[in-house]
Amino acid sequence: MKITACPLDCYDACAVVVDPESLKMTGLPQHPFTRGALCPHLNRHIKEARRITAPRIDGKEVSMEEALEAVAEAIREAGEDFLLYRGSGNVGFMQSVTEHFTAAYGGWTTEGSLCDGAGQAGIEAGRGVSLALPPESIEQADAIIVWGRNVSVTDPHMMELLKNKTLIVIDPVKTKVAKMADLYLQIRPRSDFYLAVLLSRFMFMEDMEDKRFMEERCEDAEWYYDFLRTFRVRVSLEKCDIALDDLGDLLYQMQNKKCVFLVGTGVQKYSIGDQVLHAIDGLAAVLGFFGKPGCGVSFLSDSMAGFESPFDVSPKKVAKPIVPFGRFKTVLVQGANPMAQMPGLKKVEEEMARVENLIYFGLYENETSSRARIVLPAKDFLEKEDLRLSYAHPYVQPMPKIKAAEYGISEYELTKFLFESFGFEGLKEERFYIRSMLDQCIEEGDLLKSPAYDKHPYEEEFDTDSGNFEFLEEFEDDFDDEEDGLWLLTPKSPHSLNSQFRRESHVWLHPSHGFKEDEKVRILSEHGEVELPVRVSEDIRSDSVLIYAGTPGVNYLTPPTKSLMGKSACYQEVKITLERV
């Protein structure tokens, strides 16, 4: 039996036992967080997915040698107009080795994120660095507030830690965990900032704030109450579409309890995403909930925190959600499907049409592979050496090669070929990079932990200039949230992993809109439109529609913009209308 880790972009980063003969995969029972179970993605979906088995140029199958020569030629003729666009199809560390080449060559890559960049920026503004809250700390909480995170779907192993605790859920969709909650607030989308501010203000009014923590560990804490008071209670309640009693219930449920906030990407798919996380962190700081067991805010943490990267990761960069593809002659897409997953898809298609050499390097066919001039099949996670980090727990896991590949190339092999083809020096053996990461880890028996691991993160100090927590001082928002139309929610699907595996193909609507099951509806925004058959659900608010992320066409509706901070996508900063087809 061999032990590896699931390569998929998921909070849980499961440890996996693989039988090298049958390739049957099971969860590793001794893993402290994932404790032996895998989800359907690894149990079933990954095995059903049809791999790309041969390289192609202009639609014609070619040998790997021919394809690699064509890739080198396309990069060479692009000069500086070469872009490497990486996604998160596999989140193994060795995926970034191609950036090492891009830096040596003098090309471009991306910065910012399609995912959690806005939230991370907000956390960094307050705490300096975004560290993971260890599961053993979450375990000790009395109450868990699940805030814009669909735990049972996207973070399934966390469900175990919710047991026997007060459970509060804040989500515009009545999710499975919302149905289990002691208190559920079905708030209006994009109103979480106001809820965090209201709650913080009421903590002061109810004398629930931690005066000592505010005085000793926070910068300029005396101003924060004044800042909170600039938001009028009635207006804020209306924004959130909740009653004063709901707020009272929430305070009552939290009173005298150690609380952990499990915050997901749902709250920050907006231009103001950084300020939402900063305000939620501010609430935790008012309560003194940092550096203590059973308390804290858990968001997608910076998994590279504490590590020194062995790669030169300093190529020139463009903002990921708004990449001007048309500026580049050659674009290498790796582990990504930008022609489905990027916001403002119409613009992306227009830009991509101007790219002379689109190279797709991946496992599966998708919207991007079908438009690529050169297609390179990749090796999958069992066929190459790697390691993975996690954005939700501190464990670092080696991912040894378990089986030989019949086709495809690894990210390291592609990089090695390119270094040789261009006559560049400076690429070390693959082992060197993997070792240099593993050697930086903390050993604990058979387990490896991130060097940034801290049982009680921020117990001593924050990573800000002052060493203290820094509160939000200003609120900036230019989106008109009163604008006519319905909110678009695009959470993650239980059946797909972004655009991999079984993708969804419906829009979910509240019955009040009068549509029938399977009736086709046209959904329009100022950025584009898509037609989908309807699913009717009471779990959605009547002012919102739900289309799962990964549904083909959903991103025609989303804006080609980036967040105010963090260069992150703003998928839900849009109002839509419905038309009968």
Binding site for Mo ion (CB under 5 A): 115
Instruction: Return the one option of Mo ion, ligand MGD, ligand SF4, none that residue 219 interacts with (CB less than 5 to 8 A, by type).
Output: none
- Give min distance, CB of 492 to ligand SF4, in A: 11
Smallest gap from Cβ 465 to ligand MGD, in A, equals 29
Nearest to 336 by CA among 531, 527, 113: 113
Our CB check for ligand SF4 shows the closer of 326 and 494 to be: 494
Q: Which residue number, 10 or 237, has a Cβ lying nearer to ligand SF4?
A: 10
Cα separation values, 138 from 30, 142, 167, 248, 371, Å: 19, 9, 13, 24, 45
Would you count residue 143 as binding ligand SF4 (CB under 6 A)?
no
The residues of the shown chain that bind ligand MGD, judged by CB under 6 A, are 9-10, 87-90, 114-116, 147-150, 153-154, 170-173, 175, 187, 189-190, 192, 264-267, 334-338, 341, 361-364, 366, 378, 380-381, 489-494, 496-500, 549, 554-555, 558, 571-572
Which amino acid makes up residue 119?
A: G
Considering CB under 6 A, how many residues would be counted as binding ligand SF4?
11
Q: How far is the CB of 110 from Mo ion (least distance, A)?
A: 14
Q: Which is nearer to ligand SF4, 6 or 125 (CB)?
A: 6
β-sheet bridge partners, residue 488 = 545
Nearer to ligand MGD, 204 or 364 (CB): 364
Q: How far is the CB of 70 from ligand MGD (least distance, A)?
A: 17
Nearest approach in angstroms of CB 542 to Mo ion is 28
Residue least distant from Mo ion (Cβ): 115
Q: Rule CB under 6 A: is residue 197 a binding residue for ligand SF4? A: no
92 is a contact residue toward ligand SF4 (CB under 6 A): no
* Min dist. Cβ of residue 267 to Mo ion (A): 14
Choice from 17, 18, 28, 38 touching ligand SF4 (CB under 6 A): 38
Q: Which tokens go with 464?
A: 């800000």
β-strand pairing of 56-57 with 374-377: antiparallel
Alpha-helix runs per DSSP H in 45-96: 46-48, 64-78
- For the chain, give percent helix, strand, coil, nearest 5: 30, 20, 45
Q: Per rule CB under 6 A, is residue 310 in the interface with ligand SF4?
A: no
Give the C-alpha separation, 463 to 452, whole Å.
Answer: 12
Cβ proximity to ligand MGD, 264 vs 296, nearer residue:
264
CA distance 314 to 307: 16
Q: What kind and span of H or E run contains 86?
A: strand 82-86
Choose between 357 and 551: whose C-beta lies nearer to Mo ion. 551
- 357 strand-pairing partners: 330
User: Minimum distance between the CB of residue 549 and Mo ion, rounded to whole angstroms?
Assistant: 9
DSSP line for 173-205: S--HHHHH-SEEE-PPTT-HHHHHHHHHHHHHH
Distances from the Cα of 189 to the Cαs of 173, 229, 248, in angstroms?
9, 22, 21
Nearer to ligand SF4, 29 or 79 (CB): 29
Q: How far is the CB of 183 from ligand MGD (least distance, A)?
A: 14
Q: Give every CB contact of residue 392 below 8 A, 6+ residues apart in sequence.
A: 11, 12, 13, 33, 132, 155, 158, 298, 300, 301
- Other CB atoms closer than 10 Å to residue 561's CB: what's the count? 19
Task: Name which of 410 and 496 has its Cβ closer to ligand SF4.
Answer: 496
Interface residue list for ligand SF4 (CB under 6 A): 6, 8, 10, 12-14, 38-39, 41-42, 156
